[in-house]
C-alpha cells in the first residue's frame, strides 16, 4: 500500500520542500521586482527633481550659499587695464581684394631697406613693412611711410622667449614698438605681425588669450599664405621667385612673406622678378591697411 507507507511520507516531505522552495523563490522574485520598480521610480523622480531645483526660483536668502562664484570673464584680466592708451580704431568693415598681392617684409629696417624701397618705387608698387623697432633707424622708418608704404609692428625686441612669456610681456614689447613707430613716423600703427606667425612653438600656451587681447584693443594681425622661404640659408634668388610663383595657384589674395634683414641680398635680387611675374598674371600690388581682411593661421580641427 503506497498511501501511508514510509515511501509515501518521504515523497510528501520532498513535495512539501519543493513547494516551499519554489514559493520562496517566487516570493523573492516578486518582492525584488517590486523593490526594483520602486527604486527605479525613485531614481527617475530624483532626476526630475534635480531639474526642477535648477529651474526653481532662487532660494530664500537663508538657503543661499555663502559665496556665489563669480562668472568667469576675461574682462577681469589685469592686463586689460594695463597700457590704457594702447588701442586703435577698428575698421567698420573689412574688404577682400580680387587678384591682390600684398608684399610684406618682416624684420626691417636693415641695410637692405633702401634697396627694397628703390625696387618698389621703380615698379610702382606699394608694400607693407612689419618692423623691429629696437635699434631701428628712425629716418628709415620715416622713409618707409613717406614713400607710401604701410608700416606695422613686428616687435620691439624680436626675442620670442621673452615676448611670448605672457600676455603682459607681449603687451609691454608691443607698447615699446608702437611708441617708437609713432615717434619716428607720426603713424599710429593698427596692424601687426606676430614673430613666427600667430601660432608658433613659443606661444602655444597663451596664443588664444593673446590674440583675443590684441583684437579687443582693435589691432589686426596678418599671417601669410605664401612664403618666399628666404630664411633658408643660401637660398638662390631663382628659388625665392619659384617659391612665390608656385604657391599662387588660384588664390585671390596673396599675402607674401619676405624678410628685410642684412643677409637677405637674394630676396632683393628676387624682388623685381616676383613683381613682374605677378603683374603678368594680373595681380595688383597693395599695401595692408586695417581695412584689409586678414589671413590668419589656425590649428587644424
Binding stretches for Zn ion (CB under 5 A)? 106-107, 195
Q: What is the 8-class DSSP label of residue 197?
A: -
What is the Cα–Cα distance from 199 to 297, expressed in whole angstroms?
7
For the chain, what is the largest distance between any 2 Cα atoms, rounded to a whole number of angstroms?
133
Active site residues: 106, 259
Check if the beta carbon of residue 214 is closer than 8 Å to that of residue 74: no
Kindly tell me the burial class for residue 239, based on how many C-beta atoms sit within 10 Å of its own C-beta (0-12, 13-18, 19 or more). middle
* Residue whose CB is less far from Zn ion, 102 or 283: 102
* Residue whose CB is less far from Zn ion, 159 or 216: 159
Smallest distance, Zn ion to C-beta of residue 266, A? 17
* Residue whose CB is less far from Zn ion, 100 or 220: 220
* Residue whose CB is less far from Zn ion, 211 or 283: 211
Sign of the dihedral through C-alpha 112, 113, 118, 123: positive
Smallest distance, Zn ion to C-beta of residue 240, A? 17
Smallest distance, Zn ion to C-beta of residue 200, A? 11
Smallest distance, Zn ion to C-beta of residue 260, A? 10
Residue 173, classed as helix, strand or coil, is helix
What is the Cα–Cα distance from 288 to 290, expressed in whole angstroms?
7
C-alpha cell of residue 253 = 589674395
Amino acid at each position: 500500500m503506497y498511501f501511508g507507507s514510509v515511501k509515501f511520507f518521504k515523497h510528501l516531505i520532498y513535495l512539501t520542500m519543493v513547494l516551499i522552495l519554489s514559493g520562496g523563490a517566487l516570493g523573492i522574485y516578486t518582492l525584488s521586482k517590486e523593490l526594483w520598480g520602486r527604486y527605479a521610480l525613485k531614481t527617475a523622480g530624483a532626476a526630475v527633481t534635480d531639474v526642477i531645483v535648477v529651474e526653481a526660483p532662487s532660494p530664500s536668502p537663508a538657503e543661499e550659499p555663502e559665496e556665489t562664484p563669480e562668472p568667469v570673464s576675461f574682462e577681469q584680466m589685469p592686463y586689460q587695464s594695463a597700457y590704457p592708451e594702447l588701442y586703435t580704431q577698428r575698421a567698420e568693415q573689412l574688404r577682400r581684394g580680387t587678384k591682390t598681392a600684398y608684399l610684406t617684409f618682416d624684420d626691417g629696417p636693415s641695410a637692405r631697406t633702401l634697396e627694397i624701397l628703390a625696387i618698389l618705387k621703380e615698379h610702382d608698387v606699394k608694400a607693407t613693412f612689419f618692423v623691429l623697432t629696437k635699434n631701428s633707424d628712425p629716418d628709415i622708418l620715416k622713409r618707409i611711410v613717406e614713400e607710401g608704404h604701410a608700416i606695422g609692428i613686428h616687435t620691439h625686441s624680436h626675442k620670442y622667449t621673452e615676448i611670448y612669456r605672457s600676455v603682459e610681456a607681449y603687451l609691454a614689447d608691443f607698447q615699446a614698438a608702437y611708441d617708437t613707430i609713432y615717434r619716428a613716423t607720426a603713424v599710429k600703427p593698427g596692424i601687426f605681425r606676430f614673430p613666427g606667425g600667430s601660432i608658433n612653438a613659443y606661444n602655444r600656451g597663451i596664443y588664444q588669450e593673446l590674440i583675443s587681447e590684441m583684437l579687443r584693443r582693435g589691432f589686426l594681425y596678418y599671417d601669410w599664405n605664401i612664403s618666399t622661404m628666404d630664411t633658408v640659408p643660401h637660398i638662390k634668388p631663382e628659388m625665392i621667385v619659384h617659391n612665390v610663383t608656385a604657391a599662387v595657384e588660384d588664390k585671390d589674395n596673396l599675402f607674401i612673406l619676405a624678410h628685410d634683414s642684412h643677409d637677405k641680398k637674394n630676396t632683393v635680387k628676387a624682388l623685381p622678378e616676383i613683381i613682374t611675374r605677378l603683374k603678368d598674371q594680373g595681380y595688383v600690388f597693395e599695401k595692408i591697411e586695417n581695412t584689409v581682411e586678414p589671413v590668419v593661421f589656425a590649428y587644424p580641427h
